Amino acid sequence: MLPALRELWTNLVRHRIFPPSCARLDCRSTPLARIWHRRPPIRMQNTWLCSPQCLELQLVSIFDRIALAAPPSVSSRHRVPLGLLMLAHGYLNEIQLQSALAAQHQAGRGKIGEWLQSLGFATDRQVVAALGMQWACPPLLLREFPDRQCTFLLPQPLQKVLRLMPVRWLAATRTLYVAHSEKVNYPVLSAIEQVLDCRTVPCLVSDRLMDRLLEQTGTASHHVRLFDRMSGSAEMSRIAASYVVRTGATEVRVAGCGPYLWVRLQDPDATDLLFTAPRSAEKDPRLTFGTVTSLQQPLARVFAEHAVRSLPTTQASSHIG
């Protein structure tokens, strides 16, 4: 109740009387003009923009910066190979591992975990447990279906393309548990933290369970707008600014996330805008988003401090507002 009242006071009174300075150095709006404006300032990544026009200009520079940042690496090159881990833990014997590796090599496709399962050498649960050791990330043993209220926090196109699923939201600590079925995608988790202003905790589920979760999320309704083949940052910024005006959003959050540029407009019902790489630069590998810009704070992580054997369910129904 108290935070809601404070927000009301900040938005309706304080920012009208003492509008925060605009982040654009080229802003022409004077403090008096800002007071006269009926529209409250727009918050974006710890800065303030006085108008949709200034927001549009600021978005152009942010989009350019994200597009030019180095692509994130989600390599497992420096981790102990999954097969060796399973061998060391007695899930397999050497002959089984060699047979699975030979089958994988011969077929020229598939993950070793999949081959071990299809040859009957390992179970779903053993592969997930080994993945958990490989990525220092606890396996998620679901005793109930994930919290449906939180699945919408990650737009459905992102869930599908990245094979990730939010499974539990703890409002008190603003913590989101995100299920993976293969490599833990830390750059994407950082992008989620940036956009949702929360902390994320990765956990692992089997491929089969992830397929089921992705199928079941199909009916979730949420305001997501997908924009394909944009001509560049200017067009994307124009669209985002026009949505800010249309929805009356007071906060905008932006991050590169997988193949998309994700813009979240914080209005009473959050609206997500997803832009794909600009048409003119589709072949440019730098434009695979999923990176954290220099605007975004480096995130200290403490993983594996507590096993997610059974996720807490209290406060799970509340969501980011």
Q: How far is the CB of 36 from Zn ion (least distance, A)?
A: 13
Residues contacting 28, CB < 8 A, separation 6+: none
- Pick from 27, 5, 1: nearest CA to 14: 5
182 DSSP 8-state letter: S
Tell me which residues in 46-85 interact with Zn ion (CB under 5 A): 50, 54
Q: How far is the CB of 37 from Zn ion (least distance, A)?
A: 10
- Closer residue to Zn ion (CB): 37 or 319: 37
Which tokens is 161 given? 């393309």
Q: Does 292 bind Zn ion (CB under 5 A)?
A: no
- Closer residue to Zn ion (CB): 19 or 146: 19
Which tokens is 131 given? 């993945």
Q: Does 27 bind Zn ion (CB under 5 A)?
A: yes
Q: Residue from 15, 19, 22, 176 that binds Zn ion (CB under 5 A)?
A: 22
Give 172's Cβ-side CA count (13 Å radius): 5
Q: How far is the CB of 256 from Zn ion (least distance, A)?
A: 25
Q: Does 164 bind Zn ion (CB under 5 A)?
A: no
The CA angle 220-210-303, to the nearest 5 degrees, is 105
Q: How far is the CB of 51 from Zn ion (least distance, A)?
A: 6
- Closer residue to Zn ion (CB): 41 or 202: 41
Which DSSP string corresponds to 37-90?
-SSPPEEETTEEESSHHHHHHHHHHHHHHHHHSPPP----TTS--HHHHHHHTT
The site that binds Zn ion (CB under 5 A) totals a number of residues, namely 6
Q: Does 244 bind Zn ion (CB under 5 A)?
A: no
Q: How far is the CB of 254 from Zn ion (least distance, A)?
A: 17
- Closer residue to Zn ion (CB): 30 or 317: 30
Instruction: Count how many residues are written for the chain.
Output: 321
Q: How far is the CB of 162 from Zn ion (least distance, A)?
A: 35
Which tokens is 34 given? 């800002």
- Closer residue to Zn ion (CB): 24 or 180: 24
Q: Does 234 bind Zn ion (CB under 5 A)?
A: no
Strands of the chain, DSSP E: 42-44, 47-49, 164-170, 175-180, 199-204, 223-227, 251-257, 260-266, 271-276
Other C-beta atoms closer than 10 Å to the C-beta of 282 total 10
User: Applying CB under 5 A, which part among 14-22, 102-110, 231-239, 261-269 lies near Zn ion?
Assistant: 14-22
Q: Does 241 bind Zn ion (CB under 5 A)?
A: no
Q: Does 252 bind Zn ion (CB under 5 A)?
A: no
Q: How far is the CB of 41 from Zn ion (least distance, A)?
A: 8
In angstroms, the CA 273 to CA 154 distance is 11
Q: Does 165 bind Zn ion (CB under 5 A)?
A: no
Question: What residue ranges bind Zn ion (CB under 5 A)?
Answer: 22, 24, 27, 29, 50, 54
